[in-house]
Amino acid sequence: MSCGTVESSHRSSARKGFTLVELLVVIGIIALLISILMPSLSKARIQAQTIACAANLRTISQAHIMYQGDNKGWNLSLITTSSDTSLNRWFKVLRNRNYLKASGAFLCPSDPDAAFSEQQISYGMNSTFLGNSQNRLDSQSPPTKVSIARKRGGTTTITFTESVPDSTHPGFTGRNMAGRVNPTALYLLPGDTLPGGSMLYTYPVGLKHKNRANATFLDGHVETLSRDDFRKMDKVWQTLNYYGWRAYKPGTTNTIPGYFNFNQCDSIN
């Protein structure tokens, strides 16, 4: 082999690699592409989680409608008459009676702490509207029937929405009621300042999708609502079953977290 052939072979071998400058250029281009794509990928992920969450609530709503049909038009209450807590919470009733077979439908994909339990369930019932218990002598929110709940715009009232697990705040320790939301003392998290101390009877709405949350209504449809939407009491919380049937006056807006004013209500008994 001649010297010229060997030298040519060495040059050819050298050209197969990258110089340091070329490697840095490639790395810079990759980093730039990642920085451009990451916001879009993050937005797409959040949107996908919001859609999956809405599908969960739609499934829960359809299960509730089937429950109504099997129980002479009565709405599902927060707690049934059974003293067995493994059975008597609304979400356990739906699953254990086979209205919903999978526990995953009760867990929001945006909620990393979600679990099928009284402490960590992702969705809460508006039991002020549907009923706190199946005891018809309940002093605050006895069970309701669909026919009554439809009265005065009840079909556009929230039945289920995203709630806040007990692990969210130390004050919720021992509450064991993540499956409830309460419009008569409305808090929206994150954002609102909580009262502090022990909050065993505080049941906020969880805004888990960039300051928005999904909600299902008595007629079965699902919407993604903003913080301002949840504050429009006469629009989404319109009919209340709290010490008798009442409804918020038109244009009523809740501006003070946790505050409930009967003067803003009309009696519809």
Place of tokens 């003293």: 83
* Bridge partner residues of 223 (DSSP): 215
* Bridge partner residues of 265 (DSSP): 248
Nearest to 181 by CA among 155, 142, 216: 216
* Every domain of the chain and the residues it spans: 18-267
At 188 the pLDDT is 95
DSSP track, 49-99: HHHHHHHHHHHHHHHHHHHHHHTTTBPPPSB-S-S-TTT-BHHHHHHHTTS
Whole-structure pTM value:
0.80
At 187 the pLDDT is 93
pLDDT string in tens for the chain (269-residue length):
455 555 555 555 555 666 877 777 788 888 877 777 667 666 777 888 999 999 999 999 999 999 999 988 888 888 876 666 556 889 999 998 899 988 999 999 998 889 999 899 999 999 888 888 766 555 566 677 777 666 666 778 899 999 999 998 899 988 888 999 988 889 999 999 998 888 988 999 999 999 999 999 988 999 999 999 999 888 898 766 655 556 777 788 888 888 777 777 776 65
User: Exposed, middle or buried: residue 6 (CB in 10 Å: 0-12, 13-18, 19+)?
Assistant: exposed
Phi and psi for 65 in degrees, rounded to 5?
-65, -40
